[in-house]
Amino acid sequence: MSRASKTGGYGQLLQRVITDAAAPGTQIDIFGLSPHRAVADQYRYLEFQDTTEVLENGLRAERDGYDAFLIGNIFQPGLHELRELLNIPVLGLAESSIQMACLMGPSFSLININPKFNRRIVEGIRLQGLESRMTSVEMMTVARPGVFDQAQNDPEVAAGIVEQFVETGRRALDKGAEVLIPAGGSLMAVLIKAGLTQVDGAPVLNGITALVKTGEMAVQMRQLTGIFTSKRLTYAPPTGKLLEDVRNAYGEAVYPEPR
């Protein structure tokens, strides 16, 4: 979920990272939000406005025959709604990153760039039931959002971000963290381009790659077992007469039948 995701330095890097991460035979198409969207999604009202388009994209993905829908945004707008709505697996950037980090080490820390992100990200980790694995949330001080776009073309700016990430990451390691998670796709992109994969032996988690590989795993699990997302209770869709009433009210496209 980003503006102009196929153009500019970030968009081009994102495409390369995803292409490199995908297994042979896996096709991943990137669909960013409209140019007037994803302006400041750390604000809940603006995220609410953007989520409508995410949900529409998810419905279109299943209708067009995609095997999974991946939400490449740290706040994962529409994640739980789409799991209820769709039959294909729906994965999010933060959730996949946290789960992967827990496989890589017993504890992790988040390296954040915006204080407004903190509560939102921690809420998601608490919902996953993994707050006990989190050592800390450490803060970088960077001018946003333009500095990350600038870093894609300015090695000096990029080096400054990397240097500050390493310094901030070491504070987390001193507190006991064993995996470092950059909190946000823009920061991840700068670190990926710089080739930073570890700090003093602790992995720097590439969340974009983690999302791709988790998505592939989910698709393969569904192919092997016939199911991935639980449709009991939390993600159970309406059925019977209620489903008929829902489609009459909201349109035939909602809650598509399993294929």
CB contact set of 62 (below 8 Å; sequence gap of 6+): 69, 86, 87, 88, 256
Q: Give the pLDDT band (50/70/90) at residue 256.
A: very high
Of residues 91 and 32, more confidence is placed in: 91
Nearest CA among 181, 224, 172, 223 for reference residue 204: 181
Q: Count the Cβ atoms, other than its own, within 10 Å of residue 75.
A: 23
Residue 2, pLDDT > 60, answer no
**For the residues 176-191, what does the mean pLDDT come to?**
92
Q: Could you read off the pLDDT of 75-100 as tens digits, one per residue? A: 999 999 999 999 999 999 999 999 99
pTM of the model: 0.90
Q: Give the pLDDT band (50/70/90) at residue 145.
A: low
Residue 39, pLDDT > 80, answer no
- Mean per-residue pLDDT over the chain, rounded: 91
Q: Give the pLDDT band (50/70/90) at residue 3.
A: very low
Of residues 36 and 47, more confidence is placed in: 47
Question: At CB < 8 A and 24+ separation, what contacts does 190-194 make?
Answer: 190/148, 190/151, 190/152, 190/158, 190/161, 190/162, 191/161, 191/162, 191/165, 192/13, 192/17, 193/13, 193/152, 193/158, 194/158, 194/159, 194/162
Cis peptide preceding 237, ω within 30 of 0: no
Q: Check residue 198 and give its pLDDT.
A: 98
Fold exhibited by the domain 8-216: Rossmann fold (3.40.50)
As given in the structure block, the two tokens for residue 229 are 């997302």
Q: Could you read off the pLDDT of 197-207 as tens digits, one per residue? A: 999 999 999 99
Q: Give the rounded percent of residues in the chain with a pLDDT score beyond 70.
A: 93
Of residues 166 and 119, more confidence is placed in: 166
Residue 144, pLDDT > 90, answer no
